[in-house]
A = this chain, B = another copy of it.
């Protein structure tokens, strides 16, 4: 929106000797912001609310973030990297493509369940796409790439159908998973999200049709 001139070095994400993230201001503000965003949506949230939630002064936020947009941006950047590593790991530790597929979806659900505020922000704020956040697209793209990889391997292994419209399949799977997360978020996160992985994978693999009957067609 305005000029990007950082007056001070920022991004001093300190790690303490245990390797755990030190609860420094930067982190505290980020978490507070996501909580507020999750509750009210990005545009309704004010810097003052975030500052209060983080227990700092309004001005302090500007020592760590360029502006309000930058808070969301840094959140995406941070979480996206972190989550993507988990996804990667889940896929890589599996032997065959079927297991990779199941692991990926289970991991997706588990990670979002583990950080509900993040889930809300991703689900609610992410769709806008377009201008604010190339980062968002990046996560989506990475996810789709991993999925594509798994599906193609699955085809090679004879586990998945050969006649698939891959780009459609990728979107469709991501859509299905996000719909389940969105429902869970919306229901207040009351039930166990990860346990939806198996029924969901079953749907992806077998579909809802019985036998070989293709509904709506008259062969």
Contacts from A to B (Cβ < 8 Å): 41, 43, 94, 96-99, 101-103, 123-124, 127-130, 151, 154, 158-162, 164-165, 168-169, 171-180, 182-183, 186, 196, 199-210, 213-217
Q: Are B179 and A171 in contact (CB under 8 A)?
A: yes
Q: Are A206 and B203 in contact (CB under 8 A)?
A: no
- Which residues does chain B contribute within 8 Å of A102, judged by CB atoms? 215-216
Tell me the nearest residue of chain B to A215, going by C-beta: B98
Among candidates B158, B161, B205, B209, residue contacting A159 with C-beta atoms closer than 8 Å:
B209
Among candidates B41, B97, B162, B216, residue contacting A215 with C-beta atoms closer than 8 Å:
B97
Q: Are B161 and A172 in contact (CB under 8 A)?
A: no
Among candidates B123, B124, B200, B210, residue contacting A172 with C-beta atoms closer than 8 Å:
B200
Q: Are B127 and A208 in contact (CB under 8 A)?
A: no
**Please, could you name 7 A-B residue pairs with CB atoms under 8 Å apart, sorted by A?**
A41-B130, A102-B216, A159-B215, A171-B180, A172-B176, A173-B208, A201-B215
- Which residues does chain B contribute within 8 Å of A186, judged by CB atoms? 129
Given A129-B186, A175-B175, A175-B182 in contact, is the A206-B199 Cβ separation under 8 Å?
no
